[in-house]
Amino acid sequence: MKLNDIAEFVTDKISSSSISLENYVTTDSLLQNKRGRETAQKLPPMLCALTHYKRGDVLVANIRPYLKKVWFADSEGGCSSDVLVFRAKNGHYPSFLYTVLIQDAFFDYAMSGAKGSKMPRGDKDQIMRYELPTFTSLEEENIGNIMVDIMSKINVNRQINDNLEAMAKQLYDYWFVQFDFPNEEGKPYKSNGGAMVWNEKLKREIPQGLDTQKIGDIEKNIITGKTPSCADEDNFGGDIPFVTIDDIRGNLFVFEAQRTLSTKGADSQEKKYLPIGSLSVSCIGTIGVMGFVARLAQTNQQINSIVFEHEYNKEFLYFSLKLYYENAKAKTGNVFANMSKEEFASITVAYPPKQILQAFHNKVAPIFDSIKNNIEEINSLTKQRDELLPLLMNGQATVNYHLSDD
């Protein structure tokens, strides 16, 4: 049996005027390594026709199939032309189709027929010739159900993490945007008459006596990543994550990367090592994507990383930089730009006293630890899924129950 026996490409169109950022899907908003999608950063600049996807369709990025970008749609919307939309044919289950399309074997097959070297694009005719075993309708249902159950557990953890980060951000906003951090009496500063003064650099009022400092003065060790020589294949393929922007998207803590460096490759640029807990921020292409490395790692040249000397700065600078980039986007409507290391280090923030930062860190660090633990659980579930998939598809394992029934 071939893929075109159970699925078809969706060609229906929807006007870009009928969609919003929340239901617009692009290759950039799809997350690599089968992690679904994030909200798109911008809508098409001109009115155009988009592929009209519906709930239950499976969306796959057709550029660089090796990135394994796939999403099981839980809503209706529109997507760009480089996103393929698959729909299960009558008599076949959308969940089973999704299971077929998240296999590593499927992406390897798509890459085998891809055209172009720098930005390989899958061949749609070849993709539809992908071969798969024949299953009964009940077997398709069971296989699809277990994959959806696993993905549901993963998505629950992701939603919990979103809520946890929102809680931490709410406290940040209260303390450092509204400036209602605890005063000397433990009461909200501004709400209890704390003096405010106009700051010309920030173009806003800040608490009297509060310093403004540049990122590079708060934390002096900022490392711009680098790619070791690609002419030497021995520089790659080891155990050291080589982090790119796509690896950070959707991950507050980055445990893994699509590419890795060998010890030889990483040691050839030993000053680029990032210790655990460093904050990596994209500064070329799409700027402002950020996350903490959870393993000893290196990044490519699109990323600047803060190596922290002071733990109490971590969460404060993370949210301060997020706010900076959100405000910059709101002013310009554009998130695509280049920011040099010097420009990054020159970002200026209202910098509170150490005791306030330490108090904030003490409250928020346990929340970040919970997020980190949930990401580790997500990674464990993802590994289980990827190990189980080929066994289910080649008949070595059978399933006749739902994980949720355990």
Q: Are 225 and 303 in contact, with CB atoms under 8 Å apart?
A: yes
Residue 404 pLDDT: 45
Q: Are 77 and 12 in contact, with CB atoms under 8 Å apart?
A: no
Domain assignment of residue 201, yes or no = no
Domain assignment of residue 57, yes or no = yes
Q: pLDDT digits over 137-154, tens only?
A: 999 999 999 999 999 999
Q: Are 174 and 147 in contact, with CB atoms under 8 Å apart?
A: no
- Shared domain check, 383 and 289: no
* H-type alpha helices, 261-397: 263-267, 314-332, 341-345, 354-393
**How many Å apart are CA 19 and CA 248, to the nearest integer?**
26
Q: pLDDT digits over 76-85, tens only?
A: 999 999 999 9
Q: pLDDT digits over 357-372, tens only?
A: 999 999 999 999 999 9
Out of 335, 351, 367, a domain closes at 351
| Overall number of domains in the chain | 3
Residue 394 pLDDT: 84
Q: What is the CATH number of the domain that holds 325?
A: 3.90.220.20
Model confidence band, residue 402 (pLDDT cutoffs 50, 70, 90):
very low
Out of 331, 351, 371, a domain closes at 351
Domain assignment of residue 204, yes or no = no
- Shared domain check, 124 and 188: no
Q: Which residue has 């600049």 as its token pair?
A: 45
89: DSSP letter: P
φ, ψ dihedrals at 70, nearest 5°: -150, 145
Model confidence band, residue 351 (pLDDT cutoffs 50, 70, 90):
very high
Give residue 158's identity as a one-letter amino acid code.
R
The angle at the Cα of 327, spanning 286 to 334, to the nearest 5 degrees, equals: 40
261: DSSP letter: E
Q: Which residues does residue 350 pair with via DSSP β-bridges, in sequence order? A: 212
The helix (H) or strand (E) run that includes residue 214 is strand 211-214
- Shared domain check, 249 and 165: no
Domain assignment of residue 340, yes or no = yes
- Sorted by sequence, the CB contacts under 8 Å of residue 383 that are 6+ apart come out as none
Out of 333, 351, 369, a domain closes at 351
Domain assignment of residue 280, yes or no = yes
- Shared domain check, 217 and 254: yes
Q: Are 120 and 64 in contact, with CB atoms under 8 Å apart?
A: yes
Domain assignment of residue 140, yes or no = no
Q: Two tokens at 287?
A: 């700027």
- Shared domain check, 31 and 56: yes
219: DSSP letter: S
Q: What are the b/e assignments for 317-350, b being 16+ CB within 10 Å? A: bbbbbbbbbeebbeeeeebeeebeeeebbebbbb
Per DSSP, the three-state class of 306 is strand
φ, ψ dihedrals at 341, nearest 5°: -60, -40
Residue 100 pLDDT: 96
Q: What domain range is 128 assigned to?
A: 3-132
Q: Which residue has 């592929």 as its token pair?
A: 51
How many Cβ atoms sit within 10 Å of the Cβ of residue 35?
20
Q: Are strands 290-293 and 279-282 parallel, antiparallel or unpaired?
A: antiparallel
Give the distance, in angstroms, between the CA of residue 32 and the centroid of all CA atoms in the same chain. 8
- Shared domain check, 85 and 26: yes
- Shared domain check, 344 and 215: yes
- Shared domain check, 158 and 29: no
- Shared domain check, 396 and 337: no
- Shared domain check, 362 and 334: no
Q: How many CA atoms lie within 13 A of 105 on its CB side?
A: 16
Radius of gyration of the chain (CA): 23
Domain assignment of residue 23, yes or no = yes
- CA distance between the termini of the chain: 32
- Region 191-207: mean pLDDT is 94
Domain assignment of residue 70, yes or no = yes
- Shared domain check, 364 and 326: no
- Shared domain check, 359 and 346: no
Q: Are 248 and 289 in contact, with CB atoms under 8 Å apart?
A: yes
More confident position, 221 or 117: 221
Give residue 201's identity as a one-letter amino acid code.
K
228: DSSP letter: P
Per DSSP, the three-state class of 33 is coil
**How many Å apart are CA 344 and CA 321, to the nearest integer?**
10
Q: Two tokens at 310?
A: 């002071």
- The model's pTM is 0.85
Poorest-pLDDT segment among 31-35, 170-174, 251-255: 31-35
